[in-house]
Amino acid sequence: MLKRVKRIVVLLLTTTMLFTTSITAFAGVTDDWTEAKLTDAAKNGAWDKWVQTWETVKKDPIEISLTPGKNASELNFAWYSKVTEPNPKFKIGKKQDLSDAKELSVNTTAAVTGYNSNKATAVGLEENTTYYYSYQINGVWGQATPYKTQSTKSFSFLYVGDPQIGSSSSNTANGAATAQGQDAAVRNDSFNWNNTINSALKTHPNVSFMLSAGDQVQTSSPTSNEQDIEYAGYLSPDALKSLPVATTIGNHDSKSPNYSYHFNNPNASTLGATGAGGDYYYSYGNTLFITLNTNNTNVVEHDQLIKKAISENPNAKWRIVTIHQDIYGSGDSHSNEISVINLRYTLTPILEANKIDVVLTGHDHTYSRSLILKGGVNDQSKMIDQNTYNAQYANDVNGQPTTQAYKDYLNNINDSEAIQPVTEDVTFKNGNVVDPTGILYMTANSASGSKYYNLVQQKQSYIAARWQENIPTYSTIDIDEVSFTINTYRTDNGEKIDNTYSIIKSIDKSSLNELIAAGQEKVNAKDTYTTSTFNKLEKALTAAKVVSSKPSATSQEIADAYTNLKEGINGIEQKGDNSKLKTSIGDANALLNSAVVGTGKGQYPSEAKDKFSAAIAAANTVLGSDDANQSAVDAAVDTLESSVESFKAAVIKQDPVVTNNNQNATNAQSSNSNNTKLEGVKTGDNFNVYPIVAVAGVAVAGLVYVNRKKLYKLAK
């Protein structure tokens, strides 16, 4: 209720503030999505540049997609070509000039009108090696694109939810009068999607791949060509040309074969199939990844696929399942609805029987992390039908009374019986769980900001942590022989939204000692790292050595030392390359020193020069810092360059106009008269009832809109 009231208050205040300038400036409620041009990422011309780029990107959906192969030695590719292009070709090699490249077999099938879908697989790839690939466009080989393989013994990947490119189409942008429509929405969401990926890779450049929990695009019609522009937006980030993505089929993807045209999934199966395709699986290092299309609710088929995947990967240390629907989520739109709950109680026994460790989901556009869960029990007598749920949910949203049957249903699906005794296996201090026998369920927030949902008002008892502040997020997951660790970050400032959380298996001192050796290698290169991250690593390394030398160290102490040291190693940051910042500061100082303060043409106001001088001083602070990573250095460059442009714009463009005293007096009198009139309006003089009625009308409309938007989610 608090968040709903907060939105209403904000709407009322916004309406009032808009009236103080112009009632026609009201552009509509913009909650629950991120308007790209208003973000920090859009500054310094980035948005304007994207607007121009988009006009080219949207017209030709031929961008390539990379998908993990059956194992780490393979990599799958898929791309569109025009039907007029004969025999599309693809090649890959280790040399940038592709002189050693080998052509791969290409499988071509008909796709959307005017295009074919092409798929190829590279095999025999070596770890920690850079490759270059190229494919033909209209018979011409494209530029060589790099792809670097990573280690498989210890690796990281990104985990994101619901890019849903185009979902912001029904929203009204600031300064606009109507909903922005598909083109503007896809442009908006694609900009934010680019920013999320770039932000993640800037601080985590060595991830092996990305995992998307579904709903890549918005349009769900099985035959609509509207998906073409949405997939063009989804595939637009340059980073995706070198980053494989394991996509999950979401409810917005599930009906259309366009999904299967754009992605070349490994071990693709007809089990669990919808119009988009079925279940699939792949391995990477010691981990088996199983992706289920749970838009098909035939859990028997999902069970068959899981068993097949496990039989082919019997020695996998970790088993991770990805599905779209958040069967243990905490969002107000989907986590409590009937279809999701039914899927929970039919699928979880299969997941538990097959000893799945982690389930990664999306669908609810909120972040949540469950406790370790096992043996959830459903009281079928307390279930209700979909129509009853819809009606009672609407009452709940509007603050109206609900039936006891609805309350009993919610209490039932809180699933308190599913929670293991946390005092036996969880260390709250360090966020570790050691040798659990249940499953961790994660739900990813929106990765693009195209749509957010609220958290359900009553937090379910199975939820350990949750978050929603209407900011795109992404997670990094680190896996090695004994640990699974997840961290989740905001894209606007890079801060974590939850504590680091780790699952530890079969920990002993030998594993800890291996990690200590890896940490010591980092210490030997201490001068290359930022001070704060190095100090954290050094502290964790010292503590780990103490535990390692302790004869009576318990498994919990070893686990804590291991995860703290692993976090220290993963969190180590290189000092930023400040060569560009040095150049920018030098250019800015030259401009500052040449600027003359005065009131004449070509001179500068003193306050503008003071402000510019302060900006240069701030940049120098970053330059001289031992704790500035590349992101901080890049931000300092952007800020200083923006200050340069602002200072240049402050230059006086003409000499002051000299007038006689009588004219000055007349101007002063006129100015005072105008100021008096304006001040009268601002303080309530010349009272007029019509603006008040207008404000009240907009406010009421806003209240109706908030509740209509809540109810509209039921149909999505």
pLDDT digits (tens, 9 = 90+) for 226-242: 788 999 999 999 999 99
**Element at 432 (helix H, strand E):** strand 432-434
The residues with which 483 forms a beta bridge, in sequence order, are 504
Which of 157-166, 394-403, 686-695 is the least confident region?
A: 686-695
Q: Which CATH number fits domain 579-649: 3.40.50.300, 1.20.1270.90, 3.10.20.30, 1.10.10.10?
A: 1.20.1270.90
pTM for the predicted model, two decimal places: 0.83
pLDDT score, position 139: 84
For the chain, which residues make up each domain, given as ranges?
73-148, 507-567, 579-649, 661-715
Residue 294 phi/psi, 5-degree rounding, is: -80, 10
Residue 397 reports pLDDT greater than 90: no
- Chain position carrying tokens 């694609």: 190
Query: What is the three-class DSSP state of 368?
Result: strand
Which of 85-89, 153-157, 176-180, 703-707 is the least confident region?
A: 703-707
Residue 216 structure tokens: 């890549």
The conformation of residue 271, written as its DSSP 8-state character, comes to T
pLDDT score, position 525: 87
Q: Which residues contact 33 (CB under 8 A, 6 or more apart)?
A: 167, 168, 171, 449, 450, 451, 452, 470
Q: Which residues contact 122 (CB under 8 A, 6 or more apart)?
A: 69, 74, 75, 76, 77, 92, 104, 131, 133
In whole angstroms, give the CA distance from residue 444 to residue 467.
10
CATH H-level superfamily of 73-148:
Immunoglobulins (2.60.40.10)
Q: DSSP labels for 94-115?
A: SSTT-TT-EEPP-EEEE-STTE
**Average confidence (pLDDT) over 77-105:** 95
Query: pLDDT band for position 245 (50/70/90)?
Result: very high
Residue 382 reports pLDDT greater than 90: yes
CA-closest candidate to residue 102, choices 63, 75, 128, 134 = 134
pLDDT score, position 25: 26
In whole angstroms, give the CA distance from residue 549 to residue 558.
11
The pLDDT tens digits for 655-708 are 887 655 545 444 444 444 444 333 333 323 333 434 333 333 433 344 334 444
CA-closest candidate to residue 286, choices 82, 517, 480 = 480
The answer to whether 279 and 310 are in contact (CB under 8 A) is no
Chain-wide mean pLDDT for the chain?
86
